[in-house]
Structure 1
């Protein structure tokens, strides 16, 4: 039993040409109305999740795809047109095209999911597949990344969708952290008070979540003070680099020095030193 025979069991062909024309016109009319209704609903639902260009492509694909399906599956049986040959030919062509364009189809579907889910947006700073930079464009097949060095990288959407994505600006705020090591002879409480005052003076250092400054551990060469500060994501990098240098200078101005590695060497039997003058070598 062919596919067309199965279809005609549910949609019997019409012998009267007038009825055929009327039926086809009505079917096309209701199909167009249904397609318009679906596209309007999707447009209202996805307008804030997809850019206009990509949304139009998706809506047209759905609209015309629905019309083609109705023509092949409903109108042809009504007109008593045998679609078995078309289905076989279409199946063969579809298999050939499918094998030849697996990656394209995968990237296309992944592109639609990316536009609907929106884990990234144009302008975001991201790390995708160890590619760091700004999102320049999200297309149907690929995503364009501009690295911090100014290089443009085209990533297939299937890679973008299936790999881990780090979006540095998806959250409105970000935290940065320092470890400031001071000498053991310096006053750690005074250093903490100075650092807190400097944080309060920074316009982009957030009060909520609140910053924290505390002695984290006693290292080999320094008392390590941990500094944690929250800042708006768009001002995070500038605030981080600026504040660190201010902390370093202000601590030194108050007599608190940043510690550096030191080693004390002990000689078990003392140190044998010799002095040389014009008359030869003398032992001390």
Structure 2
């Protein structure tokens, strides 16, 4: 009995030492993976923590199996049981795991970043956070939308903040009796006054369409992305006021109605 107790005691001490060393190694490997992924320029800190946790729990599982084998426990069946349980859990969480995989892809490839205004997964808004399961969007009127990553990554993603510059389009209608060259000169003057309009690419001002009741002038100017909405609102107002000063009317849609009088039967 004494020899048996000593043998089990030595095994317990050895198992404890192996366990502690294994946990230390798992922690060191997690920190190493975290630091390596974090140094990558295009990878997010959330992704670094995710990969670090995976490495930690894989090493921890091997350590537990090694400790159990030191006590003579057959770990082959245990490994098979863990594998079967993992498969069952994976099938049960198939949808959730797809969102995790999509989150990893979003964090790795970065089609958008926090602060960008995007349209994806049937929702549009400013990106507030990107997690492994979901992405949080805030609409312009500050309504929170939580969108599953699988819905975002499986469909088209429109990133309105993807480039530094944007084009602002206008369509201004003038009457058919108006002087087109005069109207274009007036509008060009308003464009040149605004220093937010970029010189390159050069602004475009052309006759875009001969409409039913108006001659539609197409205007396209480029600006820095943060100036988009301010420039659109201000120029829309400036165009209207400038045309009014020159007595150039912006016609309303009109419809001509012909009424025929039928003779009464005798």
Partner of 1:158: 150
Structure 1 spans left out of the alignment, 5+ residues: 1-19, 270-284
1:240-251 matched pairs, under 5 angstroms: 240-251=232-243
Secondary structure in 2 matching 1:224: strand
* In structure 1, distance between residues paired with 2:255 and 2:96: 62
1:165-184 matched pairs, under 5 angstroms: 165-184=157-176
Contact 1:31–1:70 (Cα < 8 Å) also in 2: no
Q: Once the 2 structures are TM-superposed, how far is the Cα of residue 61 of structure 1 from its aligned partner?
A: 1.6
Partner of 1:111: 103
Contact 2:47–2:104 (Cα < 8 Å) also in 1: no
1:136-215 matched pairs, under 5 angstroms: 136-215=128-207
1:256-271 matched pairs, under 5 angstroms: 256-263=248-255
User: Does the alignment pair 1:42 with 2:37?
Assistant: yes
Cα 1:27–1:220 shift into 2, 3 Å: closer
Secondary structure in 2 matching 1:175: strand
Partner of 1:253: 245
- Using the size of structure 2 for normalisation, the TM-score is 0.79
* Residues matched between the structures, number: 251
Partner of 1:238: 230
- Using the size of structure 1 for normalisation, the TM-score is 0.74
Contact 1:39–1:63 (Cα < 8 Å) also in 2: no
Partner of 1:223: 215
Contact 2:116–2:159 (Cα < 8 Å) also in 1: yes
Cα 1:122–1:99 shift into 2, 3 Å: same
Contact 1:39–1:62 (Cα < 8 Å) also in 2: no
- Backbone CA RMSD of aligned residues: 3.5
Q: Once the 2 structures are TM-superposed, how far is the Cα of residue 74 of structure 1 from its aligned partner?
A: 8.1
Contact 2:119–2:125 (Cα < 8 Å) also in 1: yes
User: Does the alignment pair 1:132 with 2:124?
Assistant: yes
Cα 1:109–1:137 shift into 2, 3 Å: same
